[in-house]
Amino acid sequence: MYVVGNLALWAHFIGIGFAIGCGIALSATGPKLATPEREQFWPLFKFFSRMAMTGVLILLVTGPLLIWLKFGGASTFTGWFWAKMNFVGLAVAGAGLHEWARIRFQRSNADAGPLMMIGGRLAAFGIVGAVFCAVFAFS
């Protein structure tokens, strides 16, 4: 189980990297969608969106697995862990809003652009808050 737990932790870090890294890339490519160069940047934006969502999904799978493998459950965790979980919920909601708005935007609904921006910022705030709380929860 030691190796499986460490592999799950490695995958969890990869998920954090995907989510944060692609989120940063989205913040650079997103504003380009409001310019005449939209068609040029759309495939890149769609790729970064899918990779960020993949990172969030990796986190959602490996997080509970780590709680079970490394700690035997969440019964002994402090308030920092539960604050972290609230931020995770915010990040998931933000990523979901971003993805929903991206699909609407792809179908030529221009009103979805601001929703993508709001969802991305909520997800970014949630992930950064979750990492901050994780430092205190697991140290």
For residue 77, give the CATH number of its domain: 1.20.120
Over the range 101-131, which residues count as b (16 or more CB within 10 Å of their CB) and which as e?
bbebbeeeeeebbebbbebbebbbebbebbe
User: Would you write out the chain's pLDDT as a tens digit for each of its 139 residues?
Assistant: 789 989 999 999 999 999 999 999 998 998 888 888 888 998 999 999 999 999 999 999 999 999 999 888 888 899 999 999 999 999 999 999 999 999 998 898 888 889 999 999 999 999 999 999 999 999 8
User: pTM score > 0.85 for this model?
Assistant: yes
Q: How many domains does the chain have?
A: 1
45 contact partners, CB below 8 Å, separation of at least 6: 26, 29, 30, 32, 33, 102
**Domain, as residue range, for 101:** 2-137
